[in-house]
Structure 1
C-alpha cells in the first residue's frame, strides 16, 4: 500500500470492524449504545435519555382511567478515553513482504485497541450495587474444591442476585476468565459451544451456556488483588458505551523513505444501572 491509495473512511471502518470482532466486555451484546449525538472529539459528551416506568393500578369495569406523564431523564456520557497507534514501514522492508504489511499491522493495532477498551469497561464493576456482590477480595470464592463449585458457588448466587434485582432474564451474560472456564469444563451441566453443533447467535468470546447465562471468556477479567479475579454477570441494559475512530491518517515521512499510519480511538462507558450487574470475587488458584 502506498499513501496515495489510502482511503481514510475505508480504514476507519476496517479498524472499527476489527474492534467489533474482538471486543468482549464492550461488544454490543454486553453493553448498549443508547446514546444521541455524533462523536467528533475526545472530551465531548453524548446524551443518554432514560424513560421511567409507568405506574400499575387496580381497575374495574367502568372505572375512569387517568393517564400519567412518563418521566424522562438524561445523563451525559463523557468520551474521555483515548488510545492511539502510530507506526512506519521502510520502503525496503515493505518490498520484502508479500502481504499488505500496512493493513496487517493496522489490523493488529485494532486487536490492541479492543483490549484497552475492554479493560476500561470491565473495571466499571466497582460501581455494582452492594447487594449484588458474592464474596470479597479478602474472602474470595474457591472454585476448584469440587467439579460443581464454579456453577453452584458462583453462577447460581449471581443468578439469584440478578433475579432479586428484577433484572430481565433475556440476554443475560457472564464474563469469566480462562481459569473459570476450566473449572466449568469439569461440570457436566456446562453446555459448551464447541460441542453443541450450533453457531447460532455466537458472540465474541462465547464458550457456552450455564445457569441461564451466555458464558463469555476474556483475558482481561479484572484482578483487584493477588490471584483474585472478578466474574461479572448482567444484562445489556446496565452499561452504555460509545466509541469512534476519530483519526486514521497515512503519511509519507520526510525524514526517511517510509510510509506511516496513525489512528485515534476514543470512547466512553458508564454503568447506568448498578443493580443490573452482579459480580463475584473468586480465587481459581485456591
Structure 2
C-alpha cells in the first residue's frame, strides 16, 4: 500500500508521533577504536599490554634486567551491514504540505539505530562466568522487595573484578524499573531523563530499554525471562560508519528516492568489566 492511498483533501502539517523504544545500548559502549572504517569486513586491531612486575629494590643488586612487556591483540571486525531504500512519489510530495522525505529519513535513522541497539544488547553472552547471577535455566524471580538489592549485587561483582567506579551503567527492562520504583531507597531522589536514564544504584547509572534481551529458559515460546546487563564503558568497543547515502530518481517511476548503507561492529574487549543478572518476570 503506497502513500498515495492515504491522500486526504487537506494534508496535516504534523505527522503522528510514533511509539518508540528508548535506545540506550549504543550510549554505554566506547568508540575508542573506531578509526577510519569504511566497508563491511574492515578490522580494527586493538593491542593490550600485560601487567608490569613490581619487585623489592635492593641497592646492592639494583633492578636487574628490564622485563619484556607481553602484549595481546584482539580484532574488532566490522561485520554488520544494514541498509534502507525508500521513495516518495512526485504526486504524493506535491499534495503534501509536510516533508515526506524528511520524515522518511527520520524513520530510517531510528530503524538503523534500533537494530544496532539490539545487536549490542546481545553481547551479554561474553561476560565472565564469575560475574553472573542466575542463569538461563535458573533465573532469579525478583520482587519489589529485592530487585534493588540484586542491582547492588551486580555492582559488587564489578568492584570485585577491579572495575573502575566511574562510568558504570546498568540496563534493565521496564518491568524491573516498575519494581525498583516501589522501593523508597530508589525513589527518594527521582531523576528520570528522556533517554531512558532513571537514576543511580551503587554507583551505576540505571537505564531502561525494551531492547533488553528476553530469553526462554524453559524452552517454551513465552519470553518471560530477561538479561539485566551492567558494566563499564570500557567493556564493549563499538565502531560504526555511514558508508554511503545516495539520493536518486528511480527509472520506472516519477519519484525521489534515497538509500543508505551503515556498517558497524562491536566486541567485548574486557569481559570482566561486564556483569549479568538473569531474572524472571514472574
Q: 1:239 and 1:34, CA in 2 relative to 1: closer, same or farther beyond 3 A?
A: same
CA contact (8 A) 1:86 1:263 kept: yes
Contact 1:192 1:208 in 2 (8 A): no
In structure 2, how many angstroms separate the alpha carbons of the residues matched to 1:71 and 1:138?
A: 39
Asked if residue 260 in structure 1 is aligned to residue 248 in structure 2, the reply is no
Q: Is the 8 A contact 2:152 2:201 kept in 1?
A: no
TM-score by length of 1: 0.81
5+ long unaligned stretches in structure 1 = 1-21
Alpha-carbon displacement from aligned partner over 1:167-214 (angstroms, at most 9, x marks no partner):
111111101111111111011111588x44xx9xx7942111112210
Larger CA deviation: 101-110 vs 262-271: 101-110
> By how many angstroms is 1:59 displaced?
4.6
- Report 1:1-12 matches (<5 A): none
After superposition, give the CA deviation of every residue in 1:212-269 in whole Å (9 maximum; x if it has no partner): 2100111111112130000000001111110111111101122111000111111100
SS for the counterpart of 2:185 is coil
SS class of match (1:190): helix
The worse-fitting range, judged by mean Cα deviation, of 203-212 and 220-229 is 203-212
Deviations 1:106-125 (A, max 9, x none): 11111111111111111111
Match of 2:31 in 1: 33
CA-based RMSD of the aligned residues comes to: 2.3
**1:131 is matched with which residue?**
130
What is the rounded CA distance, in whole Å, between the counterparts of 2:117 and 2:60 in structure 1?
Answer: 55
Give runs of aligned pairs for residues 1-286 of structure 1, distance below 5 A. Answer: 23-27=23-27, 30-35=28-33, 37-59=35-57, 64-65=62-63, 68-144=67-143, 147-152=144-149, 154-190=150-186, 195-196=190-191, 204-225=195-216, 226-284=223-281, 286=282
| CA-CA distance at 1:157 after TM superposition | 1.8
5+ residue gaps, structure 2 = 1-21, 217-222
Looking at structure 1, the residues matched to 203 and 58 of structure 2 have their Cα atoms a distance apart, in angstroms, of 38
Residue aligned with 1:26, SS: helix
CA contact (8 A) 2:93 2:100 kept: yes
Separation in structure 1 between the aligned mates of residue 274 and residue 194 of structure 2, nearest angstrom: 19
Larger Rg: 2
